[in-house]
Amino acid sequence: MKTRISFVILIAVVSALPATLMVACKSHLAAAAKSGRPQGPCDIYAAGGTPCVAAHSTTRALSASYNGPLYQVMRQSDGKSLNIGVVQPSATDAGGYADAAAQDAFCAHTMCFLELIYDQSGKGNHLYQAPPGTFKGPAKGAFNTLPIADMAPITLHGHKAYGVYIMPGMGFRNNNATGTAINDEPEGVYSVMDGTHYDSGCCFDYGNAETDSRADGPGTMETTYLGTATA
């Protein structure tokens, strides 16, 4: 069965597939040198011949050349949305981290929800509010609920950013991912999680799983998991 990106708790995450062409590697390294920003995980993967096929982070650009949006927040007061991008480099700051100030200004005096996490790999494998499947979420239409956007503040190189704080019933998913591993094709999955926030349930994870939002049996997910469940 074709696999897809599952739901996630993250500070920075990428997944990668083996590749034989090194063209992407050279272009990534050249872009890194030109931007003045330090290399990110996707630059390192590309240099090893395994470029990112899905790259999600709400805190930073995962390559030195990425300048698109990191995530999207939705304001509770009026339902309006805003893309949060990366801070551009300056003479004294390499930039590349999330523009948390833009989120704070947009969400002032109201609550914001994280509604979309953009894929930085260029393949369009964005993460959306997880639809109903085997698990019926508590949101309208049995969707998973959306995380509150400011519940996981962190400091990144001295700058404020926001991770993703997942509680039971929350999750993101993409059932139509392209270029990701299928069945037992080789892949690598990398994630950064808060080791103090976990539970014993299934599943506090990030990676690939079924494309129908259902649990079709043991061994159909390939993910990184943080928690105390042993099933």
Structure tokens given for 80: 């309006």
Gyration radius (Cα) of the chain, Å: 17
Cβ proximity of 193 and 225 under 8 Å: no
In the prediction, which pLDDT does 107 show?
Answer: 98
Peptide bond into 203 cis (omega under 30): yes
Q: What is the pLDDT of residues 25-58, one digit of tens each?
A: 444 445 544 557 889 999 999 999 999 999 999 9
Structure tokens given for 72: 């999207």
Rounded Cα–Cα distance for residues 158 and 137 (Å): 37
Does residue 54 or residue 2 have the better pLDDT?
A: 54
Does residue 190 or residue 98 have the better pLDDT?
A: 98
Rounded to two decimals, what is the model's pTM? 0.85
Q: Distance of CA 213 to CAs 51, 130, 164, 165, Å?
A: 26, 8, 21, 21
CATH number belonging to the domain at 3-225, selected among 3.90.1300.10, 2.60.120.200, 2.30.30.220, 1.10.10.10: 2.60.120.200
Mean pLDDT of 60-82: 97
* Backbone φ/ψ region at 122: left (φ over 0), alpha (ψ -120 to 50), beta: left
Domain boundaries, given as residue ranges, for the chain: 3-225
In the prediction, which pLDDT does 32 show?
Answer: 47
Rounded Cα–Cα distance for residues 38 and 13 (Å): 17
Structure tokens given for 53: 């096929």
Q: What is the pLDDT of residues 206-219, one digit of tens each?
A: 998 888 888 887 77
From the list 138, 118, 136, the residue with the least C-alpha distance to 128 is 118
In the predicted structure, residue 22 carries a pLDDT above the cut 80 = no
Does residue 104 or residue 26 have the better pLDDT?
A: 104
Kindly report the CA angle at 119 between 141 and 35, in degrees rounded to 5?
155
Q: What is the pLDDT of residues 151-207, one digit of tens each?
A: 999 998 899 999 999 999 999 999 999 999 888 888 899 899 999 998 898 888 899
Q: What is the pLDDT of residues 105-125, one digit of tens each?
A: 999 999 999 999 999 999 999
Token pair 């079709």 is found at: 216
Question: Phi and psi for 34 in degrees, rounded to 5?
Answer: -70, -40
What is the CA 153 to chain-centroid distance, rounded? 16
**What's the whole-number average pLDDT of the chain?**
85
How many CB atoms sit inside 10 A of residue 168's CB? 12
In the prediction, which pLDDT does 219 show?
Answer: 74
